[in-house]
Amino acid sequence: MVKAFIEKSRQSCYFQIIPGTGAERCATKEDYVLSFTTDAAGAAEHGVLAMTPPNGATSESQLDRILTSLDDDKAENVVQIDLRGKSAMADYMVICSGRSSRQVAAISEKLADKLKQEFGILSKIEGKESGDWVLIDTGDVIVHVFRPEVREFYQLEKMWLPAGQAAASADS
């Protein structure tokens, strides 16, 4: 339970009672964002997204649903990259293209809606307004949806795939 909000050396801090001890500690906003034990209501009270495990969904089941959604919405050149052991930010990265800014935005919006409905995942979405490059962060899977020209310019596949390995499309 959060008792009070204070400003301490430029860091926002919430006093929190430690369960079972009655002791207090300073909990930062980051504690609410990164904690799997924080309830959604407590996190929402502080304007942050709780990272609670969604309905027992694994990163593999999220990945399967994401790939299905991208296929249903006619995303092109879908590539999946296994990040396990390479990065702590996610287990998988998916990169795909849409034919236009409108399709990129629509693919992203539909994907976020499906993940929310089926898994209870509230995804963080960046770039939907411009429709050139949209990033969808589900926690376990990061999805990049590009217009083809923008994808060619940034070449994320080259950054994350092992040297000499060509990008294998999820379609094949």
In terms of residue numbers, what domain contains 110? 59-160
pLDDT tens across 21-36, in order? 555 555 544 444 433 3
3-state secondary structure of 77: strand
Question: Please, where are the H alpha helices in the chain?
Answer: 29-34, 40-45, 59-72, 101-119, 148-154, 156-160
Residue 67 has pLDDT above 70, yes or no: yes
Strand order in the sheet with 24-27: 2-8, 11-17, 24-27
Beta bridge partners of 76: 97
64 and 11, same structural domain?
no
Residue 6 has pLDDT above 50, yes or no: no
**168 within domain boundaries:** no
Provide the whole-model pTM: 0.64
**167 within domain boundaries:** no
**80 within domain boundaries:** yes
Q: What confidence tier does 58 reach under pLDDT thresholds 50, 70, 90?
A: confident
Distance CA 68, CA 126 (A): 21
27 and 99, same structural domain?
no
135 and 111, same structural domain?
yes
37 and 116, same structural domain?
no
pLDDT at 78: 94
pLDDT tens across 88-122, in order? 888 899 999 999 999 999 999 999 999 898 888 88
Structurally, the chain folds into a number of domains equal to 2
pLDDT tens across 33-50, in order? 433 334 444 545 545 444
**35 within domain boundaries:** yes
76 and 40, same structural domain?
no
CATH number at residue 131: 3.30.460.10
- Count of CB atoms within 10 A of residue 43's CB? 19
111 and 29, same structural domain?
no
72 and 29, same structural domain?
no
68 and 27, same structural domain?
no
